A = this chain, B = another copy of it.
Amino acid sequence: MKREYCGVFGIYNHAEAARMTYFGLYALQHRGQESAGIVTWDGSALREERGMGLVPEVFNERHLSKELKGDIAIGHTRYSTTGASLLRNAQPFRVRYKNMDIAIAHNGNLVNTVELRSRLEESGSIFQTTNDSEVIVHLIAKHMNGGTVEEAVMAACREARGAYSLLILANDKMIAVRDPHGFRPLLLGKVGDAHVFASESCAFDLLEAELIRSVKPGEMIVIDKGKVHSYDMDMGKKRHHCIFELIYFARPDSMVFGENVYFCRKAMGKQLATEAPVDADFVMPFPDSGVYCAVGYAQQSGLPYEHAMIRNHYVGRTFIQPSQDMRDYSVRVKINPVKDMIKDKRIIIVDDSIVRGTTIRTRVKKLRELGAREVHFRVSCPPIKFPCFYGIDFASKGELIAANHSVREIERFIGLDSLHYISIEGLLKSVSTPDDYCLACFTGSYPLQCEGNLKSCLECGC
């Protein structure tokens, strides 16, 4: 099984479609930094450019002004959690089938890929990538017996189980689909005469586009000859939005699932202050992930907020190894404490996660060396005990510290005076439609089972 974070963007009827898509992907860069791609319809064929790296590394002015012609475009930015970060897996995935050029940009993760693939191969399909997108394209092709591409997409979606937010170009038709459970976000907007789609509203803000609404779970929106058609594929009832979009994946200035991400995070911080108050000198985040919760915690508790660890804005992808004398370099280089603030202080740190605990442990140790009297830690996410099959990568079960250790054990391992994770109930108080979220990673109750054997899924480590 393969899990991917991704961002998708599409625009229909804009004179500079590729350029707008470039900037849309730029705003969605946090959803995937491994590869990026843009496909446009130039009036007679699809044109594409894909590459490894960040959006500004993949595209240049020539691509946007000369090569990616046309006023319809989709784009994709991808982060894969598997080792196979080949260019061939970069999206949008593009094929030619019976005089139709089809491109697909996909965010999410199917749970019946293996079964679909082997069924397709039985009837002669050949695969070039390990992407779910390629599986979906084959499904569409199989269902296109004289019918329209819309019908084929609908039929394909009935067979695909799992999480998917799709943008499809089929020649000059643009099709947006969201799975019936609504695991991943997908939004519809408008800028001038153009329609736009994006994973998060921050992409609309950069383009000064207006957010209209979410694509609904189970909805297919088709834009054809300038007309917008909505189809209710009506395949499911219950919604299962991924709460991690709110906890840490989406940008705080975005709207997703109808929620303001900043407000949710601040509410989580307030809830933490209510659930687990402690007397202290100040509240601080690990920047930048913990900033919004820490602000909420500080406001609720009445304690001062301090930005006492400083982020180095020039930290990039440095591959040079530090000197042997520089222990814990990788922990230190990203954020550095303001030394004089720490001595003799009682500190509350608020952050959105504890993955392995080793980084936090090193940081806490440093704070102790600098003279901190007490260090308390508050986490705006309940303990993650189960893997996600729908597209969020926690390290495999063995590495999820909360899956194997009690809160007290983790507290001791990190060397904290106190540790508290937000409760599931507390977390749900921070959102407006608490029944619509998937909580499987906390509870193990999966809304959709992964195909095959759960045990082998847990063990595969992918």
Contacts and interface: CB of A to CB of B under 8 A. Distances in A.
Interface of A: 14, 16, 19-20, 22-23, 26-27, 29-30, 33, 54-56, 59-61, 64, 87, 94-98, 118, 121, 123-128, 137-138, 141-142, 191-192, 202, 205-208, 251-253, 260, 262-263, 288, 291-292, 295, 298-299, 304-314, 316-327, 329, 332-333, 336-341
B20 A339 contact: no
17 contacts: A19-B323, A23-B323, A23-B326, A30-B313, A55-B314, A56-B320, A95-B126, A95-B128, A96-B128, A97-B121, A97-B126, A205-B339, A206-B333, A208-B326, A208-B327, A253-B339, A262-B308
A165 B60 CA distance: 38
Contacts of A22: 320
A336 B209 CA distance: 14
A299 B304 contact: yes
Q: Is the interface of A mostly helix, strand, loop or mixed?
A: mixed
B124 A141 contact: yes
Contacts of A316: 54, 56
Contact of A124 (B124, B321, B341): B124
A312 B27 contact: yes
Contact of A320 (B30, B59, B206, B263): B59
Nearest to A143: B124
Contacts of A59: 320
A338 B253 contact: yes
Contacts of A29: 312, 314
Contact of A260 (B60, B323, B340): B340
B64 A320 contact: yes
